[in-house]
């Protein structure tokens, strides 16, 4: 359990979060197995701060985001938003909180309705919070200006915009209901590198301007390192390392984190990254994860007890947690 400041106020605190998806087989569709997509996740996000959740495809990152949004129901654990446990709220009980927790989707092409103008897409949220037609137009124009889109283009359709512009519209739509927490689910992975930088800078500027908290989900440590205050490295449903961004990049402890960092381009070839070993092999099936350490089959430093004993999430120092036998405080 991560306890980086249990007496402080957090926008979001996740404790022991689990989600298993059943696999049904046979004529009677009995449960034959379960996919352990999220298997005991802990983290915290402070007001106005960002947590980067990083890992390979299929590790459970997006499932965590959907659990927080209550698009999926958790099997165990707590989702505490502003001091309130929302883990098992009904759809009716969640409705007042919907405007406070929003999402920016990965695909800027599929996330906007092609039959609606961008102004109509933004108006949906404004209508939900009860604004009049005149107030909606004023707020919509303000939001478009805020994200760098000319307000006069509100009557245009999504296909008339580039991918980067569509993602700006997606950001404006998520901000229309004045949220406190925004879940960014790989919001730049579908964009060109030059456009990625613009969207990341936009998100950072909006955070400073509006005091937003972000859960930034990505497989790119470069992106996460720039935007996030803290980083959680996820593998096969588990958080393997959790630390402040600067600390994680300067002093990575888990072999999986080291391997991920080896793929990050470095200008200085003489730096610590020169000793990192690139990640090899495939991620094990979440249907049948290995016993003990989930990373043992790909770890260059594996030893016998890694396959026999389950390793807990241990504090390395005041603000750095790691799930590995070889790391001792």
Q: DSSP for 200-246, please give it.
A: HHHHHHHHHHHT-EEEEEES-HHHHHHH-SEEEEEETTEEEEEEEHH
**Phi/psi at 247 (5° precision):** -65, -40
* Residue 132 vs residues 64, 124, 135, 321: alpha-carbon distances, Å: 35, 12, 5, 49
Rounded CA gap, 309 and 293, in Å? 7
Q: Which residues of the chain have pLDDT under 70?
A: 1-8, 264-278, 328-329
Q: Which two tokens stand for residue 325?
A: 């036998």
Task: With both helix axes pointing from N to C terminus, report the angle between 193-210 and 163-175 in degrees, rounded to the nearest 10.
Answer: 20
Q: How many CB atoms lie within 10 A of CB 289?
A: 17
Q: How do the domains of the chain map onto residue ranges?
A: 12-322
Parallel/antiparallel/unpaired status of strands 101-104 and 181-185:
parallel
pLDDT, position 7: 43
pTM (2 decimals)?
0.89
Q: Which two tokens stand for residue 54?
A: 């990083």
Rounded CA gap, 319 and 329, in Å? 12
Convert the pLDDT of each residue in 190-233 to its tens digit. Answer: 888 889 999 999 999 999 999 999 999 998 888 899 999 999 99
Please check whether residue 85 is in contact with residue 125, taking contact to mean a CB–CB distance below 8 angstroms: no
Q: What is the assigned CATH class of domain 12-322?
A: alpha beta
């Amino acid at each position: 359990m991560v306890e980086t400041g249990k007496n402080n106020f957090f926008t979001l605190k996740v404790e022991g979060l689990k989600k298993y998806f059943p696999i049904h087989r046979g004529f009677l569709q009995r449960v034959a197995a379960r996919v352990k997509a999220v298997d005991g996740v802990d983290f915290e996000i402070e007001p106005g701060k960002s947590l980067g959740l990083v890992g390979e495809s299929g590790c459970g990152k997006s499932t965590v985001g959907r659990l927080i949004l209550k698009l999926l129901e958790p099997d165990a654990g707590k989702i505490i938003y502003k001091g309130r446990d929302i883990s098992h709220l009904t759809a009716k009980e969640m409705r007042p909180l919907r405007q406070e927790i929003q999402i920016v989707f990965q695909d800027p092409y599929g996330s906007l309705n092609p039959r609606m103008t961008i102004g109509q897409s933004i108006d949906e949220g404004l209508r939900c919070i009860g604004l009049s037609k005149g107030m909606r137009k004023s707020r919509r124009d303000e939001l478009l200006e805020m994200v760098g889109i000319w307000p006069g283009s509100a009557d245009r359709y999504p296909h008339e915009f580039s991918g980067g512009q569509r993602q700006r519209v997606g950001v404006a739509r998520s901000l229309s209901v004045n949220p406190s927490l925004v879940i960014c689910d790989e919001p730049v992975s579908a964009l060109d590198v030059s456009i990625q930088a613009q969207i990341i800078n936009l998100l950072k500027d909006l955070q400073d301007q509006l005091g937003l908290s972000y859960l930034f989900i990505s497989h790119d440590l470069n992106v996460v390192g720039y935007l996030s205050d803290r980083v959680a490295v996820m593998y096969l449903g588990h958080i393997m390392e959790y630390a402040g961004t600067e600390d994680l990049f300067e002093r990575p402890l888990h072999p999986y984190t080291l391997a991920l960092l080896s793929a990050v381009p470095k200008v200085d070839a003489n730096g610590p990254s020169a000793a990192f070993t690139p990640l090899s092999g495939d991620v094990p099936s979440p249907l049948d994860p290995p016993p003990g350490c989930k990373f043992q089959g790909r770890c260059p430093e594996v030893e016998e007890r890694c396959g026999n004993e389950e390793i807990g999430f241990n504090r390395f120092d005041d603000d750095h947690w790691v799930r590995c036998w070889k790391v001792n405080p």
